[in-house]
Structure 1
Amino acid sequence: MTTLLIDDLSWSPHDIERGRRGADLLRHIALDARDGEFVGLIGPNGSGKTSLLRCAFRYAKPRHGRVMLDGSDVWSRNARWAAQRVAVLLQDAPEDFGLSVAEVVAMGRTPHKRLLEGTTPDDAAQVERALRYVELEDARDRRFASLSGGEMQRALLARALVQQPQVLMLDEPTNHLDPRHQIELLALVKRLGITTLATIHDLNLAAAFRFSTSMRAPMR
């Protein structure tokens, strides 16, 4: 049973010039996402959704509180441990460095590989399965940069899947997509049955997928 628990979390941005933290932008956040549950963080732009997600996937350290995954505090573990269990899909496509679709998807295996370890038959099989799931098997040899916006997000979802995550985190993954591709992408994610935490500001889209909403304290 995979459970993600955010307990009494507070976070504030760090003022690099003054070497100190500013006022809290997140205060006393409590949230839980149980095994297979799709939880939506719903609110307008600037409300703190992305900041909370960054605390959860071990990017922005909270000032107070805990982020627990199956009883382990993710901030007491190293980044590799977190990357083996949590996959993240962001709203903007990363730099592809001229890679093919299959090569970008294969990057999801990195947290499970030893230094300089090559691609194994199991790695290749997982890449192929993920490409089939997102219906991009025919595009495997195309350059990632040549894909449409919807295709890019499906390829990045495939990359997340080959991480074999226990938890999937989505930061406005449909933000630049047209309505049809928004629905298609979220339908693919929901069918996975993986514990998922997603930020979204479109209430109509949230209503269409009936996200769970388990946050028990307001974000600022």
Structure 2
Amino acid sequence: MIDTFAWTVTLTGSGGTELAMIAASFTAAADPVAESVLAYPVSPEPRNRVRAGLINSDAGYPNDPYRLYRLGGSGHRPPHDLAVAVTVHQLALDPPWRGLLDHVVFLAEVGLDGRLRPSHPPHTLRTMIAAAARLEFRYALIAAGENTDDLDGIEGIEGITVVAHADLRGVLDWLEALPNHQPAAAASPELPGMRIAHNLDPARIRGGRAVLDGSGSDADRSPTSSTPPSKDNC
């Protein structure tokens, strides 16, 4: 059972899309999922970068040791940063909006000062956000570009609302208001984005990847394949 998490989407080397979940738990408590072959620990460099971003945003940061890991995807990418920050922040404060994150996907890099940077060019972001919409996510959180024209072609994707913020503080403030604007339930509760995180298992990870990847590209790099990839580059 996974209670503290956030979703993100990245591109594969072959041009496909991958769904990944960032999850966390305190080391004092047992976490069987974190010990499974599906879990890949987030390496120190992004952990330290996100820690600085949270602290410089006057956001919560855990006082107790915690584990931080990724499910799905094929290695840590800077665009995972915002999902990492939101996940770690939850451990510190246990906010009321944590139960709504099945509806949200996070796509931005986080700087040491807490400012957000676009994870990809606008046309690539559109592809990723459209994939999240097909999985029935309701919101995509991205970095606000310096030029408002950067959002042209991204906003208006059917089925999903794109929310752009300049910094991590803005994202957290938006999340604080989210319980007042809870999205309507989607039609397919089996799809990622509809509270599967709380009962995540290998079959559902594979199912989510299959929906996003189409034909199941890059199967040899998937943590659900019969031969798991190395955990050295996570």
TM above 0.5, yes or no, is no
Q: TM-score normalized by structure 1? A: 0.29
Larger radius of gyration: 1
Identify the structure with bigger relative contact order (alpha carbons < 8 Å, sequence gap 6+): 1
